[in-house]
Amino acid sequence: MSDFQELSDPQSINQRLVDQYTEIARLAGALAHEIKNPLSTIRLNMDLMAEEFAESESPRERRVLAKVRVVQRECQRLQELLDNFLDFAKVRRYNFQPTDLNQGVRQVLELFKPKAQQAKIELVDYLASDLPTVLLDREAFHAALLNLMLNAEQAMPDGGQLVVRTYSTVQGVALELIDTGCGMDEETLEHIFEAFFSTKKGGSGLGLPTAKKIIEGHGGRITVRSELGRGTQFTIHLPIPRQLPAESSSVAASAPSASSP
């Protein structure tokens, strides 16, 4: 192949883009790590300072303590942001296993139950019994689902209901999460999958982009419908694999099935 052909060949363009993305993700990840180290030193020293002033009765030292607490809180926020960013940016090596979607959903529901109870959220599940097997990287898929459930919980500060439903579709399986939370307006809906978009105080805006990336890494897609003041519905579509692998497959960020869901 000539140089020109190679440069304009869609497959090699695609490969170059993947390489560039991987390199940028690697650099961004390395930068985040570099920031984390001095940040934890700052945090440790702030914790020590707070301890020293904790018992103080002098007004001046109480004022210093209040300021130290602000720095502690901001350090904590930065640390969470960096962890979320590392989780978002990392190039995942998916370990796809033939899985019953319901089983994966039940495990996440079990994890989420105590939080839901505390937040006065009623969890309702309608899980179809005859779902075809799909390929899931259990850990990554759990993380994606948990992000969606946390958002639902945060959208229902006074409690509510979260319905989790699974069903077969023509091309695969679907999973719906329907909450009775605050909902979103059109403007918000347009941006929710963008990295760092958040309407929450202290939100990093990486939960949904991370979930989307994971679901697309499974060859699936995620859609949303929402009504302000009424609630939100997220739907995850996953494809049925053309054939189930004899053994587990480990693929770097590529879909288990080439067919679109």
Ligand X SMILES: Nc1ncnc2c1ncn2[C@@H]1O[C@H](COP(=O)(O)OP(=O)(O)OP(=O)(O)O)[C@@H](O)[C@H]1O
Per CB under 6 A, residues contacting ligand X are 84, 147, 151-152, 155, 179, 181-184, 188, 192, 197-200, 203-209, 232
Q: Is 231 in the site for Mg ion (CB under 5 A)?
A: no
CB of 203 to Mg ion, least distance (A): 6
Site string for Mg ion, 84-123 (x = CB under 5 A): ----------------------------------------
Q: Is 207 in the site for Mg ion (CB under 5 A)?
A: yes
| 204 contact, one of Mg ion, ligand X, none, CB 5-8 Å limit per kind | ligand X
| 182 contact, one of Mg ion, ligand X, none, CB 5-8 Å limit per kind | ligand X
| 219 contact, one of ligand X, Mg ion, none, CB 5-8 Å limit per kind | none
Using the rule CB under 5 A, give the single segment among 20-28, 65-73, 144-152, 183-191 that binds Mg ion.
Answer: 144-152
Q: Is 226 in the site for Mg ion (CB under 5 A)?
A: no
Residue of closest CB approach to ligand X: 207
Phi (first) and psi of residue 139, to 5 degrees: -65, -45
Q: Is 181 in the site for Mg ion (CB under 5 A)?
A: no
Using the rule CB under 5 A, give the single segment among 9-17, 34-42, 128-136, 145-153 that binds Mg ion.
Answer: 145-153
CB of 155 to ligand X, least distance (A): 3
The answer for residues whose C-beta is within 8 angstroms of residue 79's C-beta and 6 or more apart is: 36, 39, 40, 43
| 232 contact, one of ligand X, Mg ion, none, CB 5-8 Å limit per kind | ligand X
151 vs 226, beta carbon nearer Mg ion: 151
The answer for residues whose C-beta is within 8 angstroms of residue 159's C-beta and 6 or more apart is: 119, 120, 121, 122
Edge-first strand order for the sheet with 93-99 is 134-136, 93-99, 249-252
Q: Is 209 in the site for Mg ion (CB under 5 A)?
A: no
| 197 contact, one of ligand X, Mg ion, none, CB 5-8 Å limit per kind | ligand X
- Residues of this chain that interact with Mg ion (CB under 5 A) are 151, 207
